[in-house]
Amino acid sequence: MSRVVRVAAAQLGPIQRDQSRTQVVERLVSLLRAAAADGASLVVYPELALTTFFPRWWVEDLREADHWYEREMPSAATQPLFDEARRLGVGFHLGYAELTPDGERYNTAILVERDGRIVGRYRKVHVPGHERHEPDRPFQHAERHYFTPGREGFGVWRAFGGRIGMMICNDRRWPESYRLMGLKGVEMILCGYNTPLHYVPDPSQDRLQAFHNGLVMQSGAYQNGTFVVGVAKGGVEEGVDSLADSQIVGPSGEVLARTSGNGDEIAVADCDLDWCRNYTGTLFDFDRYRRPEVYGPIASQRGVILEDG
């Protein structure tokens, strides 16, 4: 039986602060319809796809930020997306800010099957940026103020005829993210991102944003024999220019499809999940070649320990 999944990376252009959820959901539905017309069965949206990237502003009291978070999913505003996806028989991956009944705040993504069921939920593990106000910056990246790191780790779910994993933005820069899913037999990793082109702590990296984005996703895909679908919210949002360059990477590490602009746009590729075995059954046959007995510090040690004291 064929295990080809036609996937659409549904990149978003900027979402300005005054755009309502209803307006954003209309954009998501337009992309969904375009993807469905192109034969896609899975549509992947970016990180924090319902709002502007609000961690760029500081608020002392987080309760003032409650309006950026979703308390339930689907919500009244997102129900039209769920309804249209089910009608079209298309599943999706959606990133958003989650506020739980216990008052916890997570940077979250869900996986929705073609029949409208939420089959997976992932809460961002590697939360970047800073936890305190840094008023000298041109803009904040205070994700560590707004979000608690996810405690559930990296899941892999049986869906779309294969094994699907999720990660969010900064997770893609860490090899552990891919490997933990690789050890669960992942065949496709979905990842939304918001990556400002200007990296305030070290502007020498600005010109390398697209290079680093491709570097990490292509190597993560190849080293784990998995597809990686990376989807941006790009363009100039509230004065901050962000990387677009959404792409679908195969288990060979090759880019199969990518967006060309920095606005709302889809890039589509046929992903044959059986292709993963060419890598996980040969060069990256984990069971045969991995050496966990010498990898201990990866799981137990956080920072660098110099052996020469």
Report in angstroms how near the CB of residue 151 gets to ligand CDT at its nearest. 18
Instruction: Count CA atoms within 13 Å of residue 296 on its CB side.
Output: 2
Instruction: Tell whether residue 247 is a contact of ligand CDT (CB under 6 A).
Output: no
Tally: H helices and E strands in the chain: 8, 14
Instruction: Tell whether residue 129 is a contact of ligand CDT (CB under 6 A).
Output: yes
Restricted to residues 252-291, the positions that interact with ligand CDT (CB under 6 A) are none
Q: What Rg, from alpha-carbon coordinates, does the chain have? A: 19
Known catalytic membership, residue 271: no
Which x/- pattern over 134-153 shows residues binding ligand CDT (rule: CB under 6 A)?
-------x------------
Catalytic entry in 70, 124, 237, 271: 124
Report in angstroms how near the CB of residue 52 gets to ligand CDT at its nearest. 13
By beta-carbon proximity to ligand CDT, the closer residue of 182 and 230 is 230
Restricted to residues 26-55, the positions that interact with ligand CDT (CB under 6 A) are 47
Contact 2, 266 (CB under 8 A): no
Q: How far is 106 from 97, CA to CA, in rounded Å?
A: 6
Find the part of the chain contacting ligand CDT (CB under 6 A) among 33-41, 74-82, 167-175, 286-294: 167-175
Using CB under 6 A, count the residues that bind ligand CDT.
10
Instruction: Tell whether residue 170 is a contact of ligand CDT (CB under 6 A).
Output: yes
In terms of residues, how long is the chain? 309
Percent of the chain that is helix, strand, coil (3-state, to 5):
30, 25, 40
Known catalytic membership, residue 169: yes
By beta-carbon proximity to ligand CDT, the closer residue of 9 and 40 is 9
Restricted to residues 180-199, the positions that interact with ligand CDT (CB under 6 A) are 193-195
Rounded to 10 degrees, the C-alpha dihedral 56/60/65/66 comes to: 150
Instruction: Tell whether residue 56 is a contact of ligand CDT (CB under 6 A).
Output: no
Q: How far is 181 from 187, CA to CA, in rounded Å?
A: 9
Q: How far is 125 from 147, CA to CA, in rounded Å?
A: 10
Q: How far is 209 from 244, CA to CA, in rounded Å?
A: 10
By beta-carbon proximity to ligand CDT, the closer residue of 199 and 286 is 199
Known catalytic membership, residue 233: no
Query: In 3-state terms, what secondary structure has residue 217?
Result: helix
Instruction: Tell whether residue 214 is a contact of ligand CDT (CB under 6 A).
Output: no
For the chain, the straight-line distance linking the first and the last C-alpha, in angstroms and rounded, comes to 57
Q: Which of 85, 109, 169, 191 binds ligand CDT (CB under 6 A)?
A: 169
Question: What are the helix (H) ranges across the chain?
Answer: 21-37, 79-88, 143-146, 175-182, 209-224, 277-280, 286-289, 296-300
Catalytic entry in 169, 191, 271, 276: 169
Report in angstroms how near the CB of residue 263 gets to ligand CDT at its nearest. 19
Among 272, 157, 177, smallest CA distance to 219 is for: 177
Report in angstroms how near the CB of residue 213 gets to ligand CDT at its nearest. 8
Restricted to residues 63-122, the positions that interact with ligand CDT (CB under 6 A) are none
Give the catalytic positions in this structure: 47, 124, 169
Give the binding site for ligand CDT (CB under 6 A): 47, 128-129, 141, 169-170, 173, 193-195
